[in-house]
Amino acid sequence: MTDTASQLTATVPDHAAGRRFDAVLAELFPAYSRSRLAAWIKSGDALLDGQQVRPRDPVRGGEAVVLRVVEEVQTHSAPEAIPLEVLFEDEHVIVINKPAGLVVHPGAGNPAGTLVNALLHRDPNLNTLARAGIVHRLDKDTSGVMVVARTLVAHTALIEQLSSRQVHRQYLAVVVGAMVAGGTADFPIDRHPRDRIRMAVREDGREAVTHYRLRERFRAHTLLECRLETGRTHQIRVHMAHVKYPIIGDPMYGGPLKLPRGATPELVEALRGFKRQALHAETLEFAHPVSGEPVRCSAPMPADMQALVAVLREDSRLADEAAR
């Protein structure tokens, strides 16, 4: 295992006199977790006026602090030359448009060929960050915008924005049923009590809120714009199924295929042939973790969803003509 290290310096402010060293260190270097800072104090990588002290030792104010930031390898996956569509990139973050079918993290059944492998090929330094800098995920068969941190500072800041609900995440979903109005799905979600692969709405679950509105209404389906207030696993998929408008093609929550009465052969073929959930992360907006400037990235619907919407639109047009 190889480590990389850099050195940071600061001065203890006078008003901090009498406080614990570990608490003051956390305020001086907020990019790092308290547990990591405590470990560096104990290892001698955080010095107070050139001396190793205990986490609980008080400071006087005015001392020089030297922090040796030791970055150990966190991600051991192998780099792979998998193409990535990059929407925005600088030294702190990478924003990509993930294609449907690409698994985010290696795991059982997917030891390679994942987004993590692709990211490590693009930037080998990501191996010093947990999960190669990935701070949120998309399901394998969900396409769209994702942000990845390239530094520990950016990683910490983005996780804080996500946990405090400051990141705007907007999705497109094609659902079964012709909705008449948008709304909000405010139902707690947790693991299914019997099937541990699935999630479910549960009274004892974690808070989950999805806002949705109509983007386009078809004869027997709806194109929705969904905005996440929280980010639970499978949240939009579970919420839409719970309100009886499951996402087309969802193999886990969509239920049996439903063909509308009088469907054209083209629509029947399109619905039967759509083998993934029709869900796409369209827009992601966040404050840049260093500059604070807003970053907004969008990705158009992928070709398979565009083709599906086109067939649904034509089916509605033909039904309207027949009704006249």
The confidence band for 250, taking pLDDT boundaries of 50, 70 and 90, is very high
Phi-psi region of 161 (alpha: psi -120 to 50; beta: other; left: phi over 0): alpha
Domain check: are 84 and 55 in the same one? no
For residues 22-39, give the mean pLDDT.
85
pTM of the model: 0.82
User: To the nearest whole percent, how much of the chain has pLDDT over 70?
Assistant: 98
Domain check: are 195 and 219 in the same one? yes
Among residues 162, 193, 223, which one ends one of the domains? 162
Residues 106, 147: Cα–Cα separation, whole Å: 18
For residues 293-304, give the mean pLDDT.
97
Say yes or no to pLDDT of 95 above 90: yes
Instruction: Find where tokens 């990935």 sit.
Output: 134
- Quick one: pLDDT at residue 5? 57
The confidence band for 308, taking pLDDT boundaries of 50, 70 and 90, is very high
Domain check: are 26 and 86 in the same one? no
Among residues 46, 70, 94, which one ends one of the domains? 70
- Its domain, for residue 278, covers 165-323
What separation in angstroms does the CA of 64 have from each of 12, 36, 49, 107, 251?
6, 20, 5, 44, 58
Please identify which of the residues 139, 141, 304, 315 carries the catalytic annotation: 139
- Quick one: pLDDT at residue 69? 79
Q: Is 141 part of the annotated catalytic residue set?
A: no
pLDDT, tens only, 70-88: 766 677 788 999 999 999 9
- Average pLDDT over all residues of the chain: 92
pLDDT, tens only, 145-196: 999 999 888 988 898 899 899 999 999 999 999 999 999 999 999 999 989 8
What CATH number does residue 250 fall under? 3.30.2350.10
- Quick one: pLDDT at residue 1? 35
Domain check: are 100 and 65 in the same one? no
Select from 93, 87, 247, 282 the least CA-distant residue to 169.
282
Range among 15-29, 99-113, 122-136, 214-228 rated most confident = 214-228
What CATH number does residue 45 fall under? 3.10.290.10
Domain check: are 16 and 28 in the same one? yes
- Quick one: pLDDT at residue 104? 92
Say yes or no to pLDDT of 2 above 70: no
Domain check: are 249 and 312 in the same one? yes
Domain check: are 318 and 243 in the same one? yes
Q: Is the dihedral of CA 112, 118, 120, 126 positive or negative?
A: negative
